[in-house]
């Protein structure tokens, strides 16, 4: 656990102060090499402006499957194959490039990717990577439940990655898009000590007519910050002409849908639930804010939902953080007459955890 104290008063606890950056941008659609190149450039730009944390959108590499909303599953099947081929391996060369940029510029990076399953073909995850300023991959979180039409593309994650990371800028957690509507997932991170939250999204112009994506993102981020007394960075992707042309083609209804305005929001919220800076709506850019985690202390005296402002004798939340794998392979001979499966169970389960892509302890 990282500790922070005042240099002149080592017995007095203090918390980090730093500049945070949230990116709103469009990927180079279904081109992982070019998109990672854009990521590296944006990291350098944000670091040049003093940022120590840079947040990127959901599945930024190599983009979001908008065809799920504009085509039938049969029509979109070939697009799914294109996305699978263009997705990234974790660990893998694209992740290594982002890690190197984080290490070079001494920044923490949270970014969404389409992750290929480590074995077999055809399984993708909506994954959020957390990388520290040393370039270490410290978090691999797979979205717990793909939202609505997203179930055509992504498999669900498990609870093994629902955790907060101890970093030089403070306790850092992240959730992808609709997960920020999941009260229990958010509470789990708060109870794990989160003080800095990254919520990454995609621009969603394909929602029902009465659904305002900008307002939906704002209310979720403000609620998490206010309830947990934490800072929240919202990073949302933008829709480019390239994406519209690729997905919609000559389909006028799809073009109209994808060009709907007011569908992307990026901003940074303080522990009182209010914005710290002017947000970005629809346009590409980077927003910055000064973060002082000491500001989280006083508001918690009023509402500490993971401490004194709760009734743990009334409420009992159990979170299963065991990794889930397609198969449990229990190897080894029988010992002292006991079945081999029993003898191998403990070591087999440990191996599963280390082999699972969602476990950052494995080699990256």
Give the pLDDT confidence of 46-92 residue by residue, as tens digits.
999 999 999 999 999 999 999 999 999 999 999 999 999 999 999 99
From the list 38, 58, 150, 352, the catalytic residue is 58
Could you tell me the sign of the dihedral formed by the alpha carbons of 68, 74, 75, 81, in that order? Answer: positive
Regarding whether 335 and 290 lie in a shared domain, the answer is no
Regarding whether 331 and 253 lie in a shared domain, the answer is no
Query: What is the residue whose two structure tokens read 């929001």?
Result: 265
Selected residue with higher pLDDT from 206 and 262? 262
Is 296 a known active-site residue? Answer: no
pLDDT band at residue 353 using 50, 70 and 90 as cut-offs: very low
In tens, the pLDDT along 281-332 reads: 999 999 999 999 999 999 999 999 999 999 999 999 999 999 998 898 888 8
Section 118-145 average pLDDT:
97
Section 177-185 average pLDDT:
97
**Does residue 354 lie within any of the structural domains?**
yes
Regarding whether 341 and 279 lie in a shared domain, the answer is no
At what angle are helices 213-228 and 183-191 packed, to 10 degrees?
40
Q: Look up residue 22 and give its DSSP letter.
A: E
From the list 38, 143, 218, 229, the catalytic residue is 143
Last residue of a domain, one of 272, 302, 332: 302
Regarding whether 98 and 29 lie in a shared domain, the answer is yes
**Does residue 283 lie within any of the structural domains?**
yes
Share of the chain above pLDDT 90, in %: 84
Q: Which residues of 70-87 are buried (b: 16+ CB within 10 A; e: fewer)?
A: bbeeeebeebbebbbebb
**Does residue 202 lie within any of the structural domains?**
yes
Per-residue pLDDT, 350: 45
The sheet with strand 165-167 has its strands ordered as 165-167, 170-176, 196-201, 231-236, 265-269, 280-281
Per-residue pLDDT, 340: 52
Section 87-98 average pLDDT:
98
**Does residue 2 lie within any of the structural domains?**
no
Whether 356 shows a pLDDT value over 60: the answer reads no
From the list 177, 236, 263, 296, the catalytic residue is 177
Section 91-115 average pLDDT:
98
Selected residue with higher pLDDT from 128 and 327? 128
Selected residue with higher pLDDT from 6 and 154? 154
In tens, the pLDDT along 330-341 reads: 888 776 665 555
Whether 167 shows a pLDDT value over 90: the answer reads yes
Whether 361 shows a pLDDT value over 70: the answer reads no
96's tokens? 């290594």
Asked which of 160-164, 237-241, 339-343 is least confident by mean pLDDT, the reply is: 339-343
pLDDT band at residue 354 using 50, 70 and 90 as cut-offs: very low
Whether 161 and 358 have beta carbons less than 8 Å apart is answered as: yes
Write phi, then psi, for 55 (nearest 5 degrees). -105, 135
Is 58 a known active-site residue? Answer: yes
pLDDT band at residue 342 using 50, 70 and 90 as cut-offs: low
Section 81-105 average pLDDT:
98
User: Mean pLDDT, the chain, as a whole number?
Assistant: 92
Residues 6+ apart with CB under 8 A from 63: 27, 29, 30, 35, 83, 86, 114, 243
Per-residue pLDDT, 337: 60
Regarding whether 178 and 139 lie in a shared domain, the answer is yes
Regarding whether 217 and 351 lie in a shared domain, the answer is no
Regarding whether 187 and 336 lie in a shared domain, the answer is no
Task: Say how many domains are in the chain.
Answer: 2
Regarding whether 345 and 298 lie in a shared domain, the answer is no
User: What is the 3-state secondary structure of 332-360?
Assistant: CCCECCECHHHHHHHHHHHHHHHHCCCCC
Is 143 a known active-site residue? Answer: yes
pLDDT band at residue 4 using 50, 70 and 90 as cut-offs: low
Print the domain residue range for 345.
322-364
Q: What is the CATH number of the domain that holds 108?
A: 3.60.110.10
Per-residue pLDDT, 31: 98
Within 24-182, residue ranges assigned H as helices are 32-48, 67-70, 73-86, 93-105
Per-residue pLDDT, 351: 44
Cis peptide before 47 (omega within 30 of 0): no
Distance CA(161)–CA(29), nearest Å, equals 27
Query: What is the residue whose two structure tokens read 């007519």?
Result: 209
Regarding whether 352 and 247 lie in a shared domain, the answer is no
Nearest to 71 by CA among 61, 79, 82: 79
Look up the pTM and report it: 0.91
Helix (H) or strand (E) holding 148: none
Regarding whether 333 and 255 lie in a shared domain, the answer is no
């Amino acid at each position: 656990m990282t500790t922070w104290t005042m240099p002149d008063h080592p017995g007095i606890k203090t918390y980090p102060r730093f500049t945070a950056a949230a990116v709103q941008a469009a990927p180079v659609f279904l081109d992982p090499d070019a998109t990672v190149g854009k990521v590296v450039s944006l990291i350098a730009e944000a670091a040049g402006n003093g940022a120590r944390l840079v947040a990127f959108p959901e599945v930024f590499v190599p983009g979001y499957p908008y065809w799920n909303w504009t085509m039938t599953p049969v029509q979109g099947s070939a697009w799914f194959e294109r996305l699978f081929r263009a997705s990234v391996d974790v660990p893998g060369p694209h992740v290594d490039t982002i890690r190197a940029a984080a290490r070079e510029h001494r920044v923490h990076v949270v970014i969404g990717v389409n992750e290929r399953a480590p074995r077999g073909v055809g399984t993708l995850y909506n994954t959020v990577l957390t990388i520290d300023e040393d370039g270490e991959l410290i978090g691999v979180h797979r979205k717990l439940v793909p939202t609505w039409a997203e179930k055509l593309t992504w498999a669900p994650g498990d609870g093994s990655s629902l955790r907060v990371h101890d970093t030089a800028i403070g306790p850092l957690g992240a959730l992808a898009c609709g997960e920020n509507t999941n009260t229990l997932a958010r509470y789990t991170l708060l109870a794990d000590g989160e003080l800095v939250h990254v919520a990454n999204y995609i621009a969603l112009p394909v929602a029902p007519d009465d659904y305002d994506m900008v307002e939906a993102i704002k209310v979720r981020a403000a609620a998490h910050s206010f309830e947990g007394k934490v800072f929240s960075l919202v990073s949302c992707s933008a829709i480019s002409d390239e994406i519209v042309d690729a997905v919609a083609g000559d389909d006028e209804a799809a073009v109209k849908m994808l060009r709907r305005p007011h569908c992307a929001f990026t901003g940074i919220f303080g522990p009182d639930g209010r914005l710290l800076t002017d947000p970005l709506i629809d346009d590409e850019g980077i927003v910055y804010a000064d973060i002082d985690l000491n500001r989280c202390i006083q508001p918690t005296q009023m509402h500490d939902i993971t401490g004194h402002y709760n009734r743990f004798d009334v409420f009992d939340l159990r979170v299963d953080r065991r990794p889930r794998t397609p198969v449990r392979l229990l190897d080894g001979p029988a010992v002292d007459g006991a079945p081999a499966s029993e003898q191998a169970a403990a070591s087999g389960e440990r191996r599963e955890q280390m082999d699972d892509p969602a476990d950052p302890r494995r080699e990256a």
